[in-house]
Amino acid sequence: MVLYGKLRPYLNKVFVPSYEGIASSEFVPIAPHPSLLSPKYLAAYLRTPGFVAYANANTTGSRQPRVRLEALWSVLLPLPPLAEQERIVERLEAFMDRVREARRLRQEAREEAERLWQSVLADTFPRPGSALPPGWRWVRLGEVAYREANFLMPSDYPTKRFRYVGMEHLEAGQWAEPQGVEVSGAEIRSQVVLFRPGLVLYGKLRPYLNKVFVPRYEGVASTEFVPIAPRVDVLSPEYLGAYLRTPHFVDYATANTTGSRQPRTRLDALWSAPIPLPPLAEQERIVERLEALQEKLRALEAAQAQTDETLKRLEQAILERAFRGEL
């Protein structure tokens, strides 16, 4: 049997089960005639770019498009003898094994890059309680920064445009500044906090997600962000933003939460958090070094994304060649 996902056919969800079970009714169970058609051959054909394009052109429904069943059953299949179908499937699986291995190696490289970054952060900033280099000192966050909480109800300004950043606009551990979205006040139904350049926005909800950013533009944000204003004579926003992302601080914040289903960092714990404070010049040097490494990691990530796209195109090309008899 082949299970074909009829909902949003561009998602290309097809599989050949090797076990008994039950599935969503969004899957169409197709039983190939065993003397004429191999299930694996059929599944491979249903994944081809040509068939996906055909299915997308033959849907019903706009918000939740589904393949029309009459179009599915009337599609023309290239049908070689069973022995040739099996040969094609074997060749396809051999090629796809190589593609999967390439993807596995790429994922390993991505994970290794993330481990490297976390290691650099951990090594750059002294662990709380450890000895400090000359000129450094331990301070509490509340001694060198304060909460700049300017709240606003955007719905009071329904036609005004706001640049809004929610928790959903940052990935876990993201270093790059989020772009957010531009929306009208009428589209934001809850209270927000204003932010500006020079602040650090710390995501207090589920602190293990490590959502922190240092804005270079003005906007509004979810109240799940705590706007922290560093004392600029002693503390760089970029340095503080980097420290709040370290494994040391994430562990500290995660251990000091309130609420079980939606844990949030306790604000008293946030303001009493120990911060290793070097001179401003040293803070700037540290930030420059971290930014330089991040630039290299972004270049690596871009190369990996290009590899992903290349592998996807390769998969499609292999499928197309298989059903042209070129494998």
Same domain for 261 and 145, yes or no, is yes
Residue 39 counted as domain residue: yes
Q: CA-CA distance, 286 to 292, in Å (whole number)?
A: 10
- Tell me whether strands 161-165 and 219-222 are parallel, antiparallel or unpaired: parallel
Contact call for residues 140 and 273 (beta carbons, < 8 A): yes
Q: How far is CA 257 from CA 81, 87, 245, 254, in A?
A: 64, 58, 16, 6
User: Both 314 and 253 in a single domain?
Assistant: no
Do 230 and 170 belong to one domain? yes
Q: Are residues 257 and 159 in the same domain?
A: yes
Alpha-carbon span 127 to 150, nearest angstrom: 33
Per-residue pLDDT tens digits for 35-56: 999 999 999 999 988 899 999 9
- Contacts of residue 97, Cβ cutoff 8 Å, sequence gap at least 6: none
86 lies in some domain:
yes
* 196, two tokens: 């500006």
- pLDDT number for residue 327: 62
Any domain includes 286: no
- Amino acid identity, position 33: H
In a domain, 234, yes or no: yes
Distance CA(165)–CA(207), nearest Å, equals: 17
**H or E stretch covering 183:** strand 181-184
Percentage above 90 pLDDT, the chain? 67
Residue 156 falls inside a structural domain: yes
Are 156 and 86 found together in one domain? Answer: no
Model confidence at 69, pLDDT cuts 50, 70, 90, reads very high
**Predicted confidence band of residue 103 (pLDDT cuts 50, 70, 90):** confident
Say yes or no: 153 and 271 in one domain: yes
In a domain, 301, yes or no: no
Give the pLDDT mean for 105-119. 81
**Could you tell me if 167 and 87 lie in one domain?**
no
User: Do residues 146 and 204 share a domain?
Assistant: yes
- Kindly state whether residues 157 and 266 are assigned to the same domain: yes
Q: Is residue 194 part of a domain?
A: yes
Structural domain harbouring 156: 137-277
The answer to whether position 129 is within a domain reads: no
- List pLDDT tens digits, range 133-171: 899 999 999 999 999 989 999 999 999 999 999 999 999
Q: How far apart are CA 141 and CA 39, in angstroms?
A: 63
Q: How many CB atoms lie within 10 A of CB 302?
A: 10
**Biggest distance spanned by C-alpha atoms of the chain:** 81
146 lies in the same domain as 238: yes
Report the distance separating Cα 290 and Cα 284, nearest Å.
Answer: 10
Instruction: Write out pLDDT tens, residues 233-285.
Output: 999 999 999 999 999 999 999 999 999 899 999 999 999 999 999 999 999 99
Euclidean distance between CA atoms 67 and 58, whole angstroms? 6
pLDDT tops 70 at residue 30: yes
- For the segment 63-81, the average pLDDT, to the nearest whole number, is 93
* Beta carbons within 10 angstroms of residue 250's beta carbon: 20
Residues 6+ apart with CB under 8 A from 272: 140, 141, 142
| pLDDT for the residue 300 | 75
User: Could you tell me if 32 and 152 lie in one domain?
Assistant: no
CATH number at residue 188: 3.90.220.20
Q: How many structural domains does the chain have?
A: 2
Whether residue 314 is found in the same domain as residue 260: no
Give the rounded percent of residues in the chain with a pLDDT score beyond 70. Answer: 99
Which pLDDT score, from 0 to 100, does residue 175 have? 87
